[in-house]
């Protein structure tokens, strides 16, 4: 359970945290790049708006500057010269009507020029045309001089006008225009004024007051990226009443053509931090304290010779810019939530898929540790779990085989110890019995020689005595041979020939039991060992197989090499050996044969011979029927060891 939970949590965190962090980081990165593009776009848009306004104002100034070269204006200059001398020109009224007609027609062609005035050298209005209509000279000046507007008495204003450069377009605010402003509370645009001189004598002024309608039209069709709101305010350090006044604003709305003085100021429209930044910088962008609004601005000087600037601003709602990215982030979080559910579900399935086989493997290991040696792990789908299962199964099989080998080694040690102890005992008994048996055999021969040949009964008894004596002597000799364990005499011999020779020795016994001896696939192998002793082993195995076989059956001998060993097997098709007796067949004097068919020493002696050759002897039941006896003898190790022993002996 703990493993499943760990996998579950780790997989979920490994998937969701990097994925969500990556998506959010990518979103913020893209948003930042987008903000930079927005800044460039808005700055470009502001510059385009300023360029359009500047183009229009330059056109107005150039148009106004060219107006003085018009014939009607040139013809009126003598009238202005006479007025500067406080004289009334003889053609004053005729030429005044002519210039009025000209300026009225001109104003209808260029409607943005709101009011056109011709002033004499004393700044008195000789001609005034407004909205395409001339104003009659209905005011008397000094010496009853006819004027279009009342005569002014403002020495500071006159001094300012007298300082203007002659024959150049300048910008100012006429007192006449200011008086008109006071009447309708509007804030007109500044006046273009050109002082006129002829023959190095100052004669008067040509003045025009512009309408802002044309600028309004330019601004109304100007592009506002990202739903920005356009605003223009004037910074005028020379005219306190015009400083900080908003000239154009989309949000109110306020237009150039209808600006009300002091009605809406920039410092009232913005918070203090934004206002201070904008007033102290030439261009850039500022963001409100609550990060809800950004203002991109640029300062523009519409009047080259005047300390008055316009601040052109685009106000953009930050929410409008951030909204797409907020939606992306919300969508990312929603998808992350969905991904979390799916990931947790998949992680749970994966964790269960991994944890179940691990749990089963743990149970299998515990069962094995509790004594169930047959417990084996099942292979699962996962390659790593399969490797664990295979490793455990290999370990269990290895331990089981090691246990079998250990039991077999212990059994062989016990068998050897048993054989050694019985051999010592048998040697003593054999020596003790051998002399009496020899005496009995000798006396039986003397008794047979001294007994009448016609006494058949006595002769038979003596023959029976001698036969039993010989049988007892054979048993004693076998015991002595078993106890002596005569060292082998090594030599090379061919296995196939050796098997054929052994068949010849036991053929009579095979014929007696109607058993056929067959040598199957005996390859040409050179074997190294004691030919006689090994032949004794093969004879014992063949005789046991013949005696265990039924009539008309086959006893087969196989031979092959296996690694560095030669393996020889004898197989019969008899009844086999009971499982309870398999552990006893190598015990001395143990025999399952009938009395008189064996002494129970053959397999014990054979085991001793094979062990002297550092080989192994194994007898087990066949799967089908009968018994298979297999002896395995090294091919080369014995020869090498024998040569070393000879060298050591010679040394």
Q: Nearest 5°: phi and psi at 621?
A: -75, 145
- Give residue 651's pLDDT: 43
Report the range of poorest mean pLDDT among 301-310, 587-596, 609-618: 587-596
Neighbours of 327 (CB within 10 A): 10
- Give residue 419's pLDDT: 58
Question: What integer is the mean pLDDT of 27-34?
Answer: 76
Q: Is the pLDDT of residue 195 over 90?
A: yes
Q: Which residue has the higher pLDDT, 93 or 608?
A: 93
Q: Which residue has the higher pLDDT, 635 or 133?
A: 133
Q: Is 570 exposed, middle or buried (0-12, 13-18, 19+ CB in 10 A)?
A: buried
- Give residue 366's pLDDT: 77
Q: Is the pLDDT of residue 36 over 50?
A: yes
Instruction: Using alpha carbons, select from 563, 570, 542, 548 the residue that is nearest to residue 630.
Output: 570
Question: What integer is the mean pLDDT of 415-437?
Answer: 66
Distance CA 207, CA 205 (A): 6
Question: What integer is the mean pLDDT of 621-627?
Answer: 83
Angle, in degrees to the nearest 10, between helices 2-67 and 213-220? 150
Mean pLDDT, all residues of the chain:
79
The DSSP 8-state label assigned to residue 537 in this structure reads: H
Collapsing DSSP to helix, strand or coil, 315 comes out as strand
Torsion of CA 49, 52, 56, 62, to 10 degrees: 130
Q: Nearest 5°: phi and psi at 64?
A: -65, -40
Sorted by sequence, the CB contacts under 8 Å of residue 46 that are 6+ apart come out as: 283, 296, 297, 298, 312, 313, 314
Report the range of poorest mean pLDDT among 16-20, 264-268, 371-375, 402-406: 16-20
**Best-predicted range by mean pLDDT among 4-8, 81-85, 209-213?**
81-85
> What region, left, alpha or beta, does residue 304 occupy, with left being phi > 0 and alpha being psi -120 to 50 degrees?
alpha
Q: Is the pLDDT of residue 262 over 70?
A: no
- Give residue 641's pLDDT: 57
- Give residue 595's pLDDT: 46
Q: How confident is the model over 291-341, as pLDDT tens digits?
A: 788 889 999 999 877 888 999 999 888 777 777 767 776 777 777 677 667
Q: Is the pLDDT of residue 85 over 50?
A: yes
Q: Is the pLDDT of residue 418 over 70?
A: no
Q: Which domains occur in the chain, in start order?
A: 214-321 (3.30.450), 379-484 (1.10.287), 487-650 (3.30.565.10)
Angle, in degrees to the nearest 10, between helices 456-484 and 383-450? 140
Is this model's pTM higher than 0.85 or not? no
Sorted by sequence, the CB contacts under 8 Å of residue 317 that are 6+ apart come out as: 227, 292, 293
Sorted by sequence, the CB contacts under 8 Å of residue 25 that are 6+ apart come out as: none
């Amino acid at each position: 359970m703990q493993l499943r939970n760990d996998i579950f949590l780790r997989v979920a965190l490994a998937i969701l945290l990097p994925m969500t962090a990556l998506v959010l980081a990518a979103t913020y990165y893209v948003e930042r790049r987008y903000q930079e593009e927005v800044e460039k776009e808005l700055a470009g848009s502001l510059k385009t708006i300023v360029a359009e306004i500047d183009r229009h104002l330059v056109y107005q100034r150039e148009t106004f500057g060219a107006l003085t070269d018009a014939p009607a204006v040139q013809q009126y200059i003598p009238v202005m010269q006479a007025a500067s001398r406080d004289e009334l020109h003889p053609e004053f009224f005729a030429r005044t009507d002519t210039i009025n007609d000209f300026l009225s027609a001109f104003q209808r062609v260029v409607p943005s020029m709101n009011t056109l005035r011709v002033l004499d050298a004393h700044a008195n209005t000789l001609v005034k045309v407004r909205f395409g209509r001339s104003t009659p000279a209905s005011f008397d000046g000094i010496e009853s001089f006819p004027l279009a507007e009342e005569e002014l008495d403002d020495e500071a204003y006159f001094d300012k006008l007298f300082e203007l450069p002659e024959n150049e377009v300048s910008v100012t605010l006429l007192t006449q225009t200011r008086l008109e402003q006071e009447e309708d509370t509007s804030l007109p645009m500044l006046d273009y004024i050109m002082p006129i001189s002829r023959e190095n004598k100052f004669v008067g002024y040509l003045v025009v007051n512009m309408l802002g309608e044309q600028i309004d039209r330019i601004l109304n069709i100007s592009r506002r990226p990202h739903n920005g709101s356009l605003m223009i305010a004037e910074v005028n350090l020379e005219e306190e009443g015009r400083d900080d006044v908003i000239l154009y604003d989309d949000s109110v709305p306020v237009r150039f053509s209808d600006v009300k003085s002091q009605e809406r100021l920039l410092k009232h429209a913005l918070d203090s931090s934004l206002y201070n930044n904008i007033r102290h910088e030439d261009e850039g962008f500022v963001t409100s304290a609550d990060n809800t609004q950004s203002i991109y601005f640029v300062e523009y000087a519409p009047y080259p010779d005047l300390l008055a600037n316009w601040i052109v601003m685009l106000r953009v709602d930050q929410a409008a810019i951030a909204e797409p990215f907020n939606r992306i982030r919300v969508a990312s979080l929603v998808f992350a939530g969905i991904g979390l559910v799916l990931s947790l579900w998949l992680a749970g399935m994966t964790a269960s898929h991994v944890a179940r086989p691990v749990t089963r493997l743990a149970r299998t290991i515990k069962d094995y540790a509790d004594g169930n040696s047959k417990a084996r792990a099942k292979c699962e789908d996962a390659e790593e779990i399969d490797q664990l299962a295979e490793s455990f199964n290999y370990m269990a099989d290895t331990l089981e085989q090691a246990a079998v080998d250990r039991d077999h080694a212990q059994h062989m040690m016990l068998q050897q110890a048993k054989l050694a102890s019985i051999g010592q005992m048998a040697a003593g008994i054999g020596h003790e019995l051998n002399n009496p048996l020899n005496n009995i055999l000798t006396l039986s021969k003397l008794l047979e020689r001294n007994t009448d040949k016609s006494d058949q009964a006595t002769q038979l008894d003596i023959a029976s005595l001698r036969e039993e004596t010989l049988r007892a002597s054979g048993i004693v000799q076998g015991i002595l041979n078993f106890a002596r364990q005569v060292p082998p005499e090594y030599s090379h011999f061919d296995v196939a020939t050796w098997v054929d020779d052994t068949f010849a020795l036991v053929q009579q016994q095979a014929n007696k039991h109607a058993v056929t001896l067959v040598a199957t696939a005996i390859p040409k192998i050179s074997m190294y060992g004691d030919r006689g002793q090994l032949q004794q082993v093969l004879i014992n195995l063949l005789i046991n197989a013949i005696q265990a076989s039924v009539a008309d059956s086959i006893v087969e001998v196989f031979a092959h090499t296996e690694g560095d060993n030669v393996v020889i097997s004898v197989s019969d098709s008899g009844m086999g050996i009971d499982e309870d007796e398999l552990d006893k067949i190598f015990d001395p004097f143990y025999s399952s044969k009938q009395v008189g068919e064996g002494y129970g020493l053959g397999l014990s002696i054979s085991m001793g011979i094979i062990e002297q050759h550092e080989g192994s002897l194994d007898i087990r039941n066949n799967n089908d029927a009968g018994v298979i006896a297999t002896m395995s003898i090294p091919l080369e190790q014995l020869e090498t060891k024998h040569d070393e022993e000879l060298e050591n002996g010679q040394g």
